[in-house]
C-alpha cells in the first residue's frame, strides 16, 4: 500500500494564486520528499524535509511537516502556468514509496 | 552532467517477446532504482541497487522480470516473456547516498 497519500487529487487555479497540496503518511519517517512530474517526463526532486524540521523554504515553495499528525503540506506561492504538473510526496529513505499525486493545473 | 540516461525512450513489442531497458546513472551515484508507473498502480519501486549489488527486489512483479547492474555506469531491466499488462512507463533513478533521487526520462513500453 502507498505510504503517502496526497490531497486533493486535482487542483485547478489561476496564475498568481497560491496552491496548497497535502500529504499524509502512515508510519514514522526520517524524512519526507516532494517531487514534481511534468507530463511525459521523469520526476524532479523539489525539496526534502527531515523529521526534526517543521518548515522549509525553497524559492516559491514552502513545505511544512507535522510528525504528530503524520502529514506534510507543499505550498506554491504566486503560481505560474509552468507549475502545471503532478506533485508527489515520498517517504521511506532509499526505498521511497510515492503517493498517488496531486495534479495541479495553473490557468493563465 | 547529462543526468540519468535511459534507452530506448519508447518500445513497442508483441506479447511473448523479450524486452530490455537500459539505464546509465549519474556518475558518482552509488544507488540505482528501477520504478514502474501506471495509471492504476501509480509509481512503484521494482528494485534498487547499492554499489552495483541488488539490495531489495521485493517489488519485482514476477520471475519474468530481472535486473542487473554489471558496473557502476550501467543497468538493465529485462522482461521475458513480455505481456500486455507490463505496458507502463519504466523509470530509472540514481542517488548519492540517502539523498534526493534523480530520475531519467523514462521508457514508455507498450506490449501488444
The rounded Cα B10 to chain-centroid distance in angstroms is: 13
A64 closest CA partner among A56, A36, A18, A33: A56
What gap in Å lies between CA A99 and CA A25, rounded to an integer?
Answer: 9
Query: Helices H, strands E: what count in chain B?
Result: 0, 11
Q: What is the pLDDT of residues A23-65, one digit of tens each?
A: 999 888 889 999 999 998 999 999 999 999 999 999 999 999 9
Q: How confident is the model at residue B95 (pLDDT cuts 50, 70, 90)?
A: very high
Q: Do B69 and B77 form a contact (C-beta atoms < 8 A)?
A: no
Where on the phi/psi map is residue A14: left (φ > 0), alpha (ψ -120 to 50), or beta? beta
CB B102 to CB A45 under 8 A? Answer: yes
Q: What is the pLDDT of residues B43-60, one digit of tens each?
A: 999 999 999 999 999 999
Chain mean pLDDT for chain B? 95
Q: What is the pLDDT of residues B6-40, one digit of tens each?
A: 999 999 999 999 999 999 999 999 999 999 999 88
Cα nearest neighbour of B95 on chain A: A94
Using an 8 Å CB-CB cutoff, list residues of chain A that contact chain B: 2, 30, 33, 35, 41-45, 48, 88, 93-101
Using an 8 Å CB-CB cutoff, list residues of chain B that contact chain A: 4, 31, 33, 42-43, 45, 48, 50, 55-56, 91, 93, 95, 98-106
Query: What is the CA angle B8-A89-A29, rounded to 5?
Result: 120
Amino acid at each position: 500500500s502507498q505510504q503517502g497519500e496526497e490531497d486533493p487529487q486535482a487542483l485547478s487555479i489561476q496564475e498568481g494564486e497560491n496552491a496548497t497540496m497535502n500529504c499524509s503518511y502512515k508510519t514514522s519517517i526520517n524524512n519526507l520528499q516532494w517531487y514534481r512530474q511534468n507530463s511525459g517526463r521523469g520526476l524532479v526532486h523539489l525539496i526534502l524535509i527531515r523529521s526534526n524540521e517543521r518548515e522549509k523554504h525553497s524559492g516559491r515553495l514552502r513545505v511544512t511537516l507535522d510528525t504528530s499528525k503524520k502529514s506534510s503540506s507543499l505550498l506554491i506561492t504566486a503560481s505560474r502556468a509552468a507549475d502545471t504538473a503532478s506533485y508527489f510526496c515520498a517517504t521511506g529513505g532509499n526505498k521511497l514509496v510515492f503517493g498517488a499525486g496531486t495534479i495541479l493545473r495553473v490557468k493563465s | 552532467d547529462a543526468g540519468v540516461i535511459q534507452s530506448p525512450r519508447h518500445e513497442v513489442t508483441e506479447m511473448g517477446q523479450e524486452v530490455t531497458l537500459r539505464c546509465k546513472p549519474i556518475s558518482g551515484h552509488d544507488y540505482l532504482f528501477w520504478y514502474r508507473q501506471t495509471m492504476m498502480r501509480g509509481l512503484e519501486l521494482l528494485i534498487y541497487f547499492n554499489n552495483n549489488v541488488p539490495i531489495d527486489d521485493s517489488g519485482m512483479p514476477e520471475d519474468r522480470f530481472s535486473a542487473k547492474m554489471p558496473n557502476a555506469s550501467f543497468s538493465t531491466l529485462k522482461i521475458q516473456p513480455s505481456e500486455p499488462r507490463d505496458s507502463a512507463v519504466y523509470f530509472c533513478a540514481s542517488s548519492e547516498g540517502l539523498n534526493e533521487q534523480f530520475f531519467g526520462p523514462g521508457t514508455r513500453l507498450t506490449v501488444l
